[in-house]
């Protein structure tokens, strides 16, 4: 099975994806991550207003195989949560990139430079 790695997104070494939009970003787990986890049965996300610190756990993804933390790719404040993913965690398996987790107002734009582009992330997955 080939892993989807959209060119227009940024990635972390912990397999989160980031879509940048001005002062905010949307994030979720990558196709590679959902493939490694297997059937996802539970997603725990932070509440709106939660302050995130880059590299710190913000939630949990549980599959039939394991439980994994999800980490903040960039520091900021949660402004929107995708409650559909919490209600239907299997969405992550069917399309990891439309099953976004949260939207965050960026606190430190300098952290964006630390994210990987699609090419670098593809090498990280091999």
Q: Are 34 and 3 in contact (CB under 8 A)?
A: no
Q: What is the CA radius of gyration of the chain?
A: 13
**Rounded to 10 degrees, what is the CA torsion of 54, 55, 57, 60?**
110
Q: Are 43 and 51 in contact (CB under 8 A)?
A: no
The Cα–Cα gap between 107 and 121 comes to 24
> Which residue stretches of the chain have pLDDT < 70?
1
This prediction's pTM: 0.95
pLDDT reported for residue 2? 81
CATH number 2.40.50.100 is the correct assignment for the domain at 10-107: yes
């Amino acid at each position: 099975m080939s892993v989807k790695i959209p060119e227009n997104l940024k990635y972390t070494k912990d397999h989160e994806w980031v879509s940048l939009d001005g002062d905010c970003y949307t994030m979720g787990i990558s196709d590679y991550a959902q493939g490694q986890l297997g059937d996802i049965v539970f997603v725990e996300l932070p509440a709106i207003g939660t302050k995130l610190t880059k590299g710190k756990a913000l939630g949990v993804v549980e599959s039939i195989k394991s439980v994994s933390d999800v980490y903040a790719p960039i520091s900021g404040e949660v402004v929107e949560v995708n409650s559909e993913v919490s209600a239907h965690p299997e969405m992550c398996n069917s399309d990891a990139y439309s099953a976004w987790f949260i939207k965050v107002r960026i606190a430190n734009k300098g952290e964006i430079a630390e994210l990987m582009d699609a090419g670098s992330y593809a090498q990280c997955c091999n």
